[in-house]
């Protein structure tokens, strides 16, 4: 089991219910979530996909390295995720 940081930037115009529905399957693929931080809406340094603001969520979790590839693919496919950063700690 390795530890990972995952920061996700969602479209800022999503309501709370839509965010939960979007993140629920992603969180299930993570393994053991040790810490979750909701940073809220912040300005982006430059427009990404015609968005000037993004909703930031940060996770610290432990997972088997074999489980990371399916998680990465799930994050790439989702249209409401503007950007994400997945780093092994």
Residue ranges covered by each domain of the chain: 2-88
- Collapsing DSSP states into helix, strand and coil, what is residue 63? strand
- How high is the pLDDT of residue 41? 96
CATH of domain 2-88: 3.30.70.60
Contact 68, 32 (CB under 8 A): no
Which residue spans within the chain are E strands per DSSP?
2-11, 32-48, 51-63, 81-88
- How high is the pLDDT of residue 77? 92
- How high is the pLDDT of residue 85? 97
pLDDT in tens, 16-36: 999 999 999 999 999 899 999
Percent of the chain whose predicted confidence (pLDDT) is above 90: 96
- How high is the pLDDT of residue 63? 94
């Amino acid at each position: 089991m390795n530890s990972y940081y995952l920061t996700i930037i969602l479209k800022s115009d999503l309501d709370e219910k839509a965010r939960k529905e979007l993140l629920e399957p992603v969180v299930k693929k993570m393994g053991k979530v040790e810490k979750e931080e909701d940073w809220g809406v912040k300005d982006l340094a430059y427009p990404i996909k015609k968005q000037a603001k993004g909703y930031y969520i940060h996770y610290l979790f432990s997972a088997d390295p074999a489980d990371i590839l399916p998680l990465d693919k799930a994050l790439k496919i989702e249209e409401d995720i503007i950007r994400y950063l997945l780093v092994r700690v």
